[in-house]
Amino acid sequence: MNKNQFLEELRRRISGLPQEDIDERLAFYSEMIDDRMEDGLTEEEAVASLGTVDSVVDQIMSEIPLTKIVKERVRPKRQMKAWEVVLLVLGAPVWIPLIIAACAVVLAVYIVIWAVVISVYAVDLSAAAGAAGGLAGIFIYLKAGNPAGSLFSAGAAIAFAGLAILLFFVCKWITKAVLKLTGRIFLGIKTSFAGKEAQHYEQQ
């Protein structure tokens, strides 16, 4: 892929963004390709060194706020006619509750996911507390002259400590996975908004 092909494909993929952002990104990557060609790379090598168009688009979308993309997409491209305004107002009792309901469902699912994560953290803290209690039990039973109880407390402390350590790594992995999923969801929403514009761009 040469420079012009790369920039044209990139323009198509980000055509749903505000025009100033499109121009800024295209100028940035055009200059980056030129700089690498000045360093001795061929045009194709300079383009390939940037990565795939998909990876570049993901990077661009991750840098632009979702609100900015939505604002650009909902901005009317032309003056609305009177009958369109009337239909929009009359349909508001239908489409506004539907949008609210959809957002509420998405938010509820997201809250449930984090509730599960928090529950796992709570179990981990409980296991750590059990380990601490087992350690305390060792000294309490020894002081009471009960070596069997002290041995039992030592075993319980070791078991709870092992469980706490295991759950710590599980919690860490789950947290990273949820945060990564959150990032992918927002990136997907951004790309879908820009993608609708890109489809319109292709049809033209």
Give start and end residues of each alpha helix (H) in the chain. Answer: 3-13, 19-38, 43-48, 53-63, 66-74, 82-143, 147-203
CA distance 69 to 66: 5
Location of structure tokens 């949008």: 99
Would you say residue 44 lies in a domain?
Answer: yes
Would you say residue 192 lies in a domain?
Answer: yes
Are residues 133 and 58 part of one domain? Answer: no
Instruction: List, for residues 62-120, the tens digit of each pLDDT value.
Output: 777 766 666 655 555 556 677 767 787 888 888 788 889 988 998 898 899 889 889 99
Would you say residue 147 lies in a domain?
Answer: yes
| One-letter amino acid of 134 | G
Are residues 195 and 138 part of one domain? Answer: yes
* pTM of structure: 0.57
Would you say residue 194 lies in a domain?
Answer: yes
Q: How far is CA 41 from the centre of its chain?
A: 35
Instruction: List, for residues 128-170, the tens digit of each pLDDT value.
Output: 999 999 999 999 988 888 889 899 999 999 999 999 999 999 9
Would you say residue 72 lies in a domain?
Answer: no
Would you say residue 96 lies in a domain?
Answer: no
Domain that holds residue 21: 3-64
Give how many domains the chain has, as a whole number: 2
